[in-house]
């Protein structure tokens, strides 16, 4: 098999994997709450799954806020942010696979220009801002063939910053309602 054809097969397999994973996570989302009892590793795992869905959000930040009230908020944010960044690789892989489902949208050109001009900083800002549409940034980064480790680094940094806000917010709210 020639190299071009082999790359098409790999890209198709990535896209099928991302779609299957999204469907699987949606089907088991009610069972995810049981992982909370595993502490930081459970938070990390739930965060991976909550962020691995494409376009359909699973509210991982709610868990982060709740766990910030129970555990050390800093380490909750690190666990949740690290898991979220790994989970966000599915959007990147969908874009890298060539699934340019967003190219004809009106905002797409603007996002591409930001990514080309500012690269990782665009990912950092979009990962820090709480929004369910971050997958579109990941897809765009994949379409533009941004290196996966560069994407992952900026996404990780932004997700930890966002999770710090939610974990400390949960801890602060918990202090307002003593036991």
CA 130 to CA 136: how far, in whole Å? 14
DSSP secondary structure, 88-148, as one string: THHHHHHHHTT--TTTTSTTHHHHHHHHHHHTHHHHHHHHHS--TTHHHHHHHHHHTT--H
CA 170 to CA 72: how far, in whole Å? 11
- Return contacts of 133-136, CB within 8 angstroms, 24+ apart: 134/88, 134/91, 135/54, 135/55, 135/88, 135/90, 135/91, 135/94, 136/91, 136/102, 136/111
116-159: per-residue pLDDT in tens?
888 889 899 989 998 777 888 888 888 888 899 999 999 999 99
Residues 6+ apart with CB under 8 A from 65: 166, 167, 169, 170, 173
Q: Where are the beta strands (DSSP E) in the chain?
A: none
- pTM over cut 0.85: no
Residue 73's pLDDT band (cuts 50, 70, 90) = very high
The pair of three-digit structure tokens given for residue 39, joined into one six-digit string = 């502490």
31-62: per-residue pLDDT in tens?
655 656 788 998 898 888 888 876 666 667 77
């Amino acid at each position: 098999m020639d190299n071009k054809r082999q790359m098409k097969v790999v890209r198709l397999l990535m896209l099928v994997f991302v779609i299957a994973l999204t469907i699987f996570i949606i089907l088991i989302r009610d069972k995810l709450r049981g992982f909370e009892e595993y502490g930081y590793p459970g938070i990390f795992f739930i965060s991976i799954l909550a962020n691995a869905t494409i376009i359909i959000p699973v509210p991982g930040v709610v868990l982060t806020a709740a766990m910030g009230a129970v555990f050390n908020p800093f380490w909750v944010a690190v666990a949740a942010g690290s898991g979220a960044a790994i989970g966000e690789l599915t959007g990147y892989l969908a874009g890298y696979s060539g699934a340019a489902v967003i190219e004809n949208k009106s905002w797409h050109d603007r996002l591409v220009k930001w990514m080309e001009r500012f690269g990782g900083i665009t990912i950092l800002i979009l990962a820090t801002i709480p929004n369910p549409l971050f997958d579109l940034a990941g897809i765009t980064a994949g379409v533009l063939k941004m290196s996966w480790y560069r994407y992952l680094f900026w996404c990780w940094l932004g997700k930890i910053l966002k999770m710090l806000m939610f974990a400390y917010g949960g801890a602060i709210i918990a202090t307002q309602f003593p036991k």
